[in-house]
Every structure is written in C-alpha cells, then in structure tokens.
Chains A and B, each alone.
Chain A
C-alpha cells in the first residue's frame, strides 16, 4: 500500500468515513486491523450479495442517511452495541473494556459480555459521551494493562473496567471507573447477586453515583453534538468560560469592538449564541449564525478538549475567583 493511499485512508478513518473491504484473504495493513472489514472474498458479482449489501449500508450510514431496505435482508454479523465508531476526540469519551471473567467456564464469559453490553446500551443514550469501537477494545481482552495506559492509547477521558465471577448460583461483579487524565478512581463498587438477578444487577450498576461520576452536571445544559452542524469562519471569536465568570461581559466587549459605533443588529445574547446549550433551538441557531456576515462571537462553557480548535479562530478564556463563581451560582440556582 503506497503512503498516499495510507494517508488517505487515515484521513477517512479520522473523519469516520472509512469502509475497508477486502477481495483476497489477506491480513489488513498495520493500523487498520482494528476496523471491521467487509469480506468480498467469494463475491459472486451480484448486488444482492451479503458483502455488497453490507457495503451499501456502511457507505449510506457514513453519509448520514438511511440504508435502503432490501426485500430479503441479508444475513449480517450480530450487532455489537459497543460498535459505534472510532473516537471523536472533541467529545468526552469512554472505553468500556471487556469485563474479565474470573473462571474457566466459557458461559461465564458470555455472562460478563452480557453485563457489559447492558451497561453500554444505557450509556449510549447519554449524549455527549462517545463510546470506543468494540473491535478496538477486544484487543485488550484478557490482557493485563492499566486503565490509564489503555485510556491514553485510545485518547479517551474515562475507562470502565469490570470483573465477573460466578460460583454456583452466586454472582459477584466488581466495576471501576477511572479518569485517565488524573488516574483517579472516580467510582468503584462490588455487587453480590444470585445469577437469576443479573438484569437487576445491570440496573444497579448504572446507579446514580456512576452516572454522576460520568456526567458532569454541566451536561444538563450542554450537548456536544451541536458542534457537528457548526461551520466555522476564519475570523470567528470563541468566548469560553465556566458559567458566571464574565461570559456576557466579554461577549458584549467583543461585539462592541467589532461594531465600535454601537449599532448591534441584535442583542448580544442572540448575536453570540451558546453553541452547545440544549435549550436553544438547534436549527434556528445554526441558521442565524450562517446569516451573520460580520465577524462572529460564539460562546462555550466547555472544556477545551470538548470543542473544536480551529487554528485561524481566536479563543478567549475568561475566569473568575471560584468563590465568587460559587456565590453567583447560588443566585442562579435559587429556586
């Protein structure tokens, strides 16, 4: 494979547009072995062949569309609920490692996988959290590596690990959540159940405490997927702050600097929307932003890692003494 092809494939991989296929029974090149490859070995040249149908579906999905339905749906590999894509570094992400099965019985591995999938299905529904491709994670099955090194390799913020042990009718599960950046165990718990109770076990694992550890409360107002529809301009200005630190103040300054005559076409709160805020109608916001022809001022309350970083844009981070922020939050949160 030439370097140019490798570069192109790498680019496609990063923008989640890569669909590897193979015509011969060969090993994939290094770097692309962790992605599911559609097998055209033995393809009969027909459009209704399983391989061709899988390819059409994969391409359509990566374009964001609905796959065309077929009269006789081809048999595909069972879907892995963790199989969501590669890591999008601008969003908070988590890797749920294959849970260790402490016992030789292969049925126990099935149980461990079942619990892991149950948890992941719930996590998928959390907007803002990005789950790492399951086939990537299978490389870590039964290996002794630290959560931090796995997390660093994958570029994720959180790693969830677990171990499941069955002894007769008794089931024991230990689950641990690690923050990669700090190597802190944010949450850990051991569960003892009877085997029949395995579904309640999944519910218990997803309890409020784990939930809270994973979803900082700013997620109540922030939906990072809103950045996807955002189109940057070269001279955009991003005012980034924790809440109650002088955001509006700085936005007002920027808007007035851009229009020193004070002739603002709309109030600052409309001119300069908070991109990831869940309560702004998304379409309207992007539409209004597209129409702005003068230099734009945008607002974010996200960490730098959670938003796109455009080289030509200007970012302003505004901070205030945390104790003053707390007092201001008291006022904001007063019911």
Chain B
C-alpha cells in the first residue's frame, strides 16, 4: 500500500483531514503547500526560536550536500562522539545520498513508498523548483517566509551556513 493511501486511511478513521494528493498540477498543489497549515514555516520558526539552547543543533540540507564530512564532524562534536580520521572517512562514505539509496539493509526498505527507498530518497537534488514554480508563486513563497521568519532565519533557510559567511556574519549568536 502506498504511503499516502495508508496515511489517509488512518486520517479517515481518526476523523482528521487527509493529506492532499498531488493530482499532476504542481501549481494547484503549491497553493496547498504554501499555506501555513502545511506546517513547514511554523516548524522552522519554532526551532529557530530555540537556537540558543545548548541542546539544539541546527543543520541545513544544503550544507550536508556541499560538505558532508564537515557536517558529520560538527554533528559528532555536538553529540560528544570522538572518532579517528579513518572512522570519520568510513562513516562519511556510508552516509552519502548515493550509498544510502543503494543500501536499504542499512537505511530501511521503505516498502510503503512507491519505488521503496529509491522513491523515498528520490533525487536529493535542489533547485528543481526553478523549472516549475512561476514568478508569482515564488513571490508568495517569499511573502510567507518573510512573514513567518526573521531575516536571519529566512537567509539561513535559503543558503544554509553560507548565508552567514557570505555576508561576514559569522556571529557567535548563530550556532550553525
């Protein structure tokens, strides 16, 4: 059974709204997604507010893509896990997106998803939206971003850690 069917069957039983299905019209789907009901912006805002807490680390997908070993070392440091360089290299080799897709025995089968793990870990590519979303839709996204998040948080969402090094803003207040 596909993931969404299973989720929505459970939602029906519990009497809560179902997750919207994608019907082939990305623009229609975007209207649903971009509303705050979806929870993306709320969730970012809620953790961003707590960024100064000692037991919270912020990680960005773009940083995992551009500097996997660097991010793995940063996570290890935060978790108080000390490894040798060799071990870090081994862990990194098992945690590339490509390795994970090829190793369901390590990550999971994700049988509920179309295509299993290769459907769940689909492309791992960023910027695919550039060919899909219209200028008006991107403006709506910007509006939501600016309404829900501080300029620092919005910049971080867009660029990860680069947002701060690029403008020389590696401030001690940003534990990222």
A residues near B (Cβ < 8 Å) are: 125-128, 208, 211-213, 215-221, 223, 237, 240-242, 245-246, 248-250, 252-254, 256-258, 260, 262, 264, 267-270, 278-279, 301-305, 311-335
Which A residues touch B120, using CB under 8 A?
248, 332
Known contacts A246-B61, A323-B138: does B30 contact A253 (CB below 8 Å)? no
What are 21 pairs between A and B in contact, CB < 8 Å?
Answer: A216-B39, A217-B17, A218-B39, A221-B10, A249-B95, A249-B97, A254-B75, A257-B81, A260-B83, A269-B108, A279-B7, A279-B10, A314-B57, A318-B60, A318-B61, A320-B61, A321-B157, A322-B41, A324-B126, A332-B3, A332-B122
Would you give the shortest CB distance from B70 to chain A, in whole angstroms?
Answer: 12
Which B residues touch A248, using CB under 8 A?
100, 107-108, 120-121
Please measure, in the bound complex, the distance between the C-alpha atom of A135 and the C-alpha atom of B161, giving whole angstroms.
49
Would you give the shortest CB distance from B168 to chain A, in whole angstroms?
Answer: 22
B164 within 8 A of A: no
Please measure, in the bound complex, the distance between the C-alpha atom of A136 and the C-alpha atom of B109, giving whole angstroms.
49
B19 contacts A217, C-beta separation under 8 Å:
yes
Which A residues touch B46, using CB under 8 A?
303-305
B170 within 8 A of A: no
Would you give the shortest CB distance from B106 to chain A, in whole angstroms?
Answer: 6
Q: Map CB proximity to A onto B11-41 as digits: 1 under 8 Å, 0 otherwise.
A: 1001111111111001001100110111111
Which A residues touch B169, using CB under 8 A?
none
Which B residues touch A217, using CB under 8 A?
17-20, 37-39
Nearest 9 pairs of A and B residues by beta carbon: A269-B108, A320-B61, A317-B47, A323-B129, A267-B108, A303-B46, A220-B11, A333-B22, A335-B21
Which A residues touch B15, using CB under 8 A?
125-126
B3 contacts A317, C-beta separation under 8 Å:
no
Instruction: Name, among B17, B22, B90, the residue most crowded by chain A CB atoms within 10 Å (CB to CB).
Output: B17
Please measure, in the bound complex, the distance between the C-alpha atom of A109 and the C-alpha atom of B15, giving whole angstroms.
30
Would you give the shortest CB distance from A304 to chain B, in whole angstroms?
Answer: 4
B49 within 8 A of A: yes
Which B residues touch A256, using CB under 8 A?
91, 94-95
B76 contacts A257, C-beta separation under 8 Å:
yes
Which B residues touch A237, using CB under 8 A?
79
B10 contacts A278, C-beta separation under 8 Å:
yes
Which A residues touch B157, using CB under 8 A?
319, 321-322
Please measure, in the bound complex, the distance between the C-alpha atom of A262 and the C-alpha atom of B107, giving whole angstroms.
12
Would you give the shortest CB distance from B99 to chain A, in whole angstroms?
Answer: 9
Which A residues touch B11, using CB under 8 A?
220-221, 278
B104 within 8 A of A: yes
Which B residues touch A323, using CB under 8 A?
129, 133, 138, 141
B95 contacts A252, C-beta separation under 8 Å:
yes
A335 contacts B129, C-beta separation under 8 Å:
no
B136 within 8 A of A: no
With CB as the reference atom, state the residue of chain B lying closest to A240. B47
B14 contacts A127, C-beta separation under 8 Å:
yes
